[in-house]
Amino acid sequence: MKHVSVLPNILTLANAGCGLLAISKAIDALASGDPARFASLLEMSCWLVLIAGVLDGLDGRIARMTDSFSDFGAQLDSFADAITFGVAPAMVAKVLLEGDGGLVHPRVHFLAAAAFALMAVLRLARFNLESDHEEESHQGFRGLPSPAAAGTIVAMILMYLSLGGGIEVASGEATPVGKGVQYLPGWLRDGLADSLLPAILLALPAIGLLMVSRIPYRHMATYFGGQRTRFPVLVKVVFISGGLYLAPVPVLLGAGVLYIGSGLLTYARKSSESKS
pLDDT value of residue 186: 73
- Evaluate if pTM is beyond 0.85: yes
Which residue would you say has higher pLDDT here, 115 or 128? 115
In a domain, 216, yes or no: yes
In a domain, 250, yes or no: yes
- How is residue 85 annotated by DSSP? I
Q: How many CB atoms lie within 10 A of CB 237?
A: 11
Question: Any residues with CB less than 8 A from the CB of 127 and at least 6 apart, and which?
Answer: 78, 141
pLDDT value of residue 276: 64
Q: Which domain holds residue 198?
A: 6-275
**Coil, strand or helix: which one is 5?**
coil
pLDDT value of residue 25: 96
Residue-wise pLDDT for 147-165, tens only, equals 999 999 999 999 999 887 6
Q: What is the mean pLDDT of residues 96-122?
A: 91
In a domain, 200, yes or no: yes
Handedness of CA 83, 29, 163, 171 (dihedral sign): negative
pLDDT value of residue 15: 95
Kindly tell me if the per-residue pLDDT of 168 is higher than 80: no
Kindly tell me if the per-residue pLDDT of 171 is higher than 70: no
In a domain, 49, yes or no: yes
In a domain, 1, yes or no: no
Distance CA 263, CA 88 (A): 24
Q: How would residue 1 be classed by pLDDT, with cut points 50, 70 and 90?
A: very low
1-5, 54-58, 93-97, 194-198: the lowest-pLDDT one: 1-5
pLDDT value of residue 120: 96
Kindly tell me if the per-residue pLDDT of 174 is higher than 90: no
Residue-wise pLDDT for 245-269, tens only, equals 888 888 999 999 999 999 999 888 8
Q: How would residue 112 be classed by pLDDT, with cut points 50, 70 and 90?
A: very high
In the chain, what is the greatest distance between 2 CA atoms, to the nearest angstrom? Answer: 62
Closest CA to 159 of 250, 269, 34: 250
Q: Phi/psi at 27 (nearest 5 deg)?
A: -65, -40
Which amino acid does the sequence have at 222?
T
Q: What is the mean pLDDT of residues 48-71?
A: 83
Q: What is the mean pLDDT of residues 52-81?
A: 83
Distance CA 20, CA 23 (A): 5
In a domain, 87, yes or no: yes
Distance CA 94, CA 201 (A): 8
In a domain, 73, yes or no: yes
62-66, 84-88, 257-261: the lowest-pLDDT one: 62-66
Handedness of CA 151, 227, 70, 139 (dihedral sign): positive
Query: Dihedral through CA 79, CA 80, CA 86, CA 90, nearest 10?
Result: 130
Q: Give me the number of domains the chain comprises.
A: 1
Q: How would residue 221 be classed by pLDDT, with cut points 50, 70 and 90?
A: low
Kindly tell me if the per-residue pLDDT of 169 is higher than 60: no
Q: Phi/psi at 169 (nearest 5 deg)?
A: -135, 135
Query: H helices within the chain, ranges in order?
Result: 6-30, 35-65, 71-82, 88-97, 106-130, 146-164, 176-183, 186-211, 230-246, 248-275
In a domain, 202, yes or no: yes
Distance CA 38, CA 32 (A): 6
Which amino acid does the sequence have at 111?
L
Residue-wise pLDDT for 6-53, tens only, equals 888 899 999 999 999 999 999 999 888 888 899 899 999 999 999 999
